[in-house]
Amino acid sequence: MFDFSIISKWFHSLLTGFIPEWLAIGIECLIVLLFIIILYAILAIALIYLERKICAFFQCRIGPNRVGKWGLLQVFADVFKMLSKEIIKMRQSDKLLHDMAPFFVLLASFLTFACIPWNKGLQILDFNVGLFFFIAISGIGVIGILLAGWASHSKYPMIGAMRSGAQLISYELSIGMTMLTMLLLCGTMQLSEIVQQQADYGWNIVRGHVPAVLAFIIYLIAGNAECNRGPFDLPEAESELTAGYHTEYSGMGFGFFYLAEYLNMFICGAMAATVFLGGWSPIYFPGLDGFNTVMGYIPGFVWFFGKAFFVVFLLMWIRWTYPRLRIDQLLSLEWKYLMPISMFNIILMALVVCFGLTL
């Protein structure tokens, strides 16, 4: 598996050869920022198109097919339309907080984006507490949603924001417990080390036995709720709240929330791929040396994106299969079922590790 840290070290030594190190680091940071922005935009366009086509497939229709071949340019047309829309200011709103809210949501997704291990040696932030950093930073998004509801000075956004606050704070507990379960299995919070262990010993969802599979299922359910996706889209329920917390937003103010929702879904899939499905590590089967050699030639980032988009497909499948829950059902699912099961699962994983039953 190719190590991209070789390229980054070579580029750093090349820059420091003729400019000061502080300037070289500044240039590298600008390049990384540009990379994140471009990748963010590409993934958003791909996910929106994928959502529309998968939705059409489940509803037995064609989906977008007018603008471009197979509707490939439909998303670009929607982007240009949104960019040209007027941003309407609400008379009674808190204008400063109203304008700041979308950027809090974007900030959370950008920061979590930065700690994803795309390939061996291809990771922007590689903290020794990366798992904790991911859980902590992902909680910033709820601040933007609450600000959007409060600052709009309107009943529908306020109700949607209160629902979202209750929902996100509740389901973050299950996500934290599933990550704690996998921490017991791996013994480290460094994401690159978690993926490297899976490259050496096998994917966590396999070597962790039943507790790992159970944690993966709980993570999918709680991750779907964290992304405000159906059947957990109570904060923006169109049939009840018009559009929920972003009802009073127009133009790119609404567009930022729209982008963040899809990127949060990808981040959810990327973290599931990293922690449970081996990240950038390929599929290996003991004894099949020829097959394993061929799999090793496939670049790590291809494996990573394939696994992440597989989880994204599962999340979309759930959305277009189940009807929306009521708010009492949504909270009961977390506090009466997922939370106790997650606590029991931590104990079960601790027993598996203590007795050496991992593969």
Q: How far apart are CA 261 and CA 355, in angstroms?
A: 41
What does each C-alpha distance from 32 to 38, 85, 130, 247, 270 come to in angstroms? Answer: 10, 30, 18, 34, 19
What tokens does 100 get?
A: 């700041």
pLDDT of residue 148: 83
For the ranges 28-37, 271-280, 288-297, 317-326, the lowest mean pLDDT is seen at 288-297
pLDDT of residue 266: 92
Q: How far apart are CA 200 and CA 262, in angstroms?
A: 32
* 349 lies in some domain: yes
Q: Which sign, positive or negative, has the C-alpha torsion 111, 117, 118, 123?
A: positive
Tell me the pTM. Answer: 0.90
Q: How far apart are CA 94 and CA 146, in angstroms?
A: 13
For the ranges 84-98, 217-231, 299-313, the lowest mean pLDDT is seen at 84-98
Q: How far apart are CA 118 and CA 97, in angstroms?
A: 34
Region 30-40 average pLDDT: 87
- What is the band of 131 on the pLDDT scale with cuts at 50, 70, 90? confident
* 259 lies in some domain: yes
**89: pLDDT strictly greater than 80:** no
H or E, element range at 87: none
Based on C-alpha coordinates, what's the Rg of the chain? 21
**178: pLDDT strictly greater than 90:** yes
- What is the band of 212 on the pLDDT scale with cuts at 50, 70, 90? very high
Name beta bridge partners: 119. Answer: 122
**271: pLDDT strictly greater than 80:** yes
Region 186-208 average pLDDT: 87
pLDDT of residue 81: 84
pLDDT of residue 1: 64
pLDDT in tens, 282-308: 888 777 778 778 887 888 889 999 999
pLDDT of residue 344: 94
pLDDT of residue 33: 85
* 288 lies in some domain: yes
End-to-end CA distance of the chain: 23
- What is the band of 200 on the pLDDT scale with cuts at 50, 70, 90? confident
pLDDT in tens, 336-349: 999 999 999 999 99
Residues in contact with 282: Cβ distance below 8 Å, sequence separation at least 6, in sequence order: 1, 292, 295, 296, 298, 300, 303
pLDDT in tens, 90-109: 777 788 888 888 888 888 88
* 97 lies in some domain: yes
Q: How far apart are CA 163 and CA 46, in angstroms?
A: 29
* 359 lies in some domain: no
H or E, element range at 188: none
Domain that holds residue 310: 5-354
- What is the band of 123 on the pLDDT scale with cuts at 50, 70, 90? confident
> Taking a C-beta distance cutoff of 8 angstroms, is the pair 123, 300 a contact?
no
pLDDT in tens, 229-261: 878 887 777 677 777 777 888 788 788 888 888
Nearest to 318 by CA among 260, 231, 236: 231
> Taking a C-beta distance cutoff of 8 angstroms, is the pair 138, 293 a contact?
no
* 54 lies in some domain: yes
% of the chain surpassing 90 pLDDT: 19
Structural domains counted in the chain: 1
For residue 55, the tally of other CB atoms under 10 A from its CB is 14
What tokens does 208 get?
A: 């962790």
What does each C-alpha distance from 88 to 248, 249, 354 come to in angstroms? Answer: 8, 7, 59
pLDDT of residue 270: 92
* 106 lies in some domain: yes
pLDDT of residue 181: 93
Q: How far apart are CA 240 and CA 326, in angstroms?
A: 11
Residues in contact with 276: Cβ distance below 8 Å, sequence separation at least 6, in sequence order: 182, 203, 204, 205, 212, 215, 216, 219
% of the chain surpassing 70 pLDDT: 98
* 143 lies in some domain: yes
- What is the band of 359 on the pLDDT scale with cuts at 50, 70, 90? low
> Phi/psi at 154 (nearest 5 deg)?
-145, 150
Name beta bridge partners: 273. Answer: none
pLDDT of residue 87: 78
Region 49-73 average pLDDT: 87
What tokens does 227 get?
A: 């992304």
Q: How far apart are CA 327 and CA 231, in angstroms?
A: 11
